[in-house]
Amino acid sequence: MTTLSVNINKFATLRNSRGGNNPDVTKAAIDAQLFGADGVTVHPRPDERHIRYDDVRAIRRIITTEFNIEGNCREQKFIDLVLETKPHQVTLVPDAEGQLTSDHGWDTIKYKDYLREIIPVFQKAGIRVSIFVDPVIGMVEGAAETGTDRIELYTEGYASHFHKNKERAIAPYAAAAKRANELKLGINAGHDLDLNNLAFFAKQVPGLLEVSIGHALVCDALYLGYENTVQLYRRQLA
């Protein structure tokens, strides 16, 4: 069964908009686990506009499921935080400074040498490494040469075309996953997956190990309740 990691960044965005500690981000992580999530994801950025570095430290102390930290490994502060907190998995994304949200995967050919240098830094600390990749066969093959443990397929393209033609939308992801399986790469996925498109994606992508979902899940939780929403998303993966 594909596992669900709940990205709690949006809880921190709401908290930061008002100050104080409401909602409590650490409690959001605890509750995600209690409500049935298989893991918790955070994505700290240098300006700490949502998840703060101290949030990561606090969550690490209470985590009982899998902990995944996403971020830009070209920032030394991020590298130091990951090595300090030692999550189960680090997901490396090629964000630019000040980027609103992740919007593309690594060019694993252009940055192969860099990735081959940085990935072992985390692996030597016992941390599984996943890298953000577009659903392009060449990028998947390039990822295999970097030494990464997993790839995370960037799914915005799938989500944006799902309602127009879901078979066409899923095709590059299914092909990329097939090639990743051949290359013995683990497969994660994330970005704009929701209750409408998740089940079809999970059924069509062979070997899918994990999805990381934040924005849509938190939006649904406003109407449906947090516990109920986590359960609804898990059912899509059954």
pLDDT in tens, 102-150: 557 999 999 999 999 999 999 999 999 999 999 999 999 999 999 999 9
Position 97 confidence tier, pLDDT thresholds 50, 70, 90: low
Residue from 50, 66, 70, 210 carrying the catalytic annotation: 70
Domains of the chain in start order, with CATH, are 3-236 (3.20.20.70)
Within the chain, how many helices (H) and strands (E) appear? 11, 8
Q: Read off the tokens for 6.
A: 């709940």
Active-site residue flag, 161: no
Residue from 50, 152, 191, 210 carrying the catalytic annotation: 191
In this structure, what DSSP letter does residue 95 have?
P
**pLDDT for the residue numbered 130:** 98
Q: pTM, whole model, 2 decimals? A: 0.95
Active-site residue flag, 88: no
Phi and psi, residue 63, nearest 5°: -70, 135
pLDDT at 75 over 70: yes
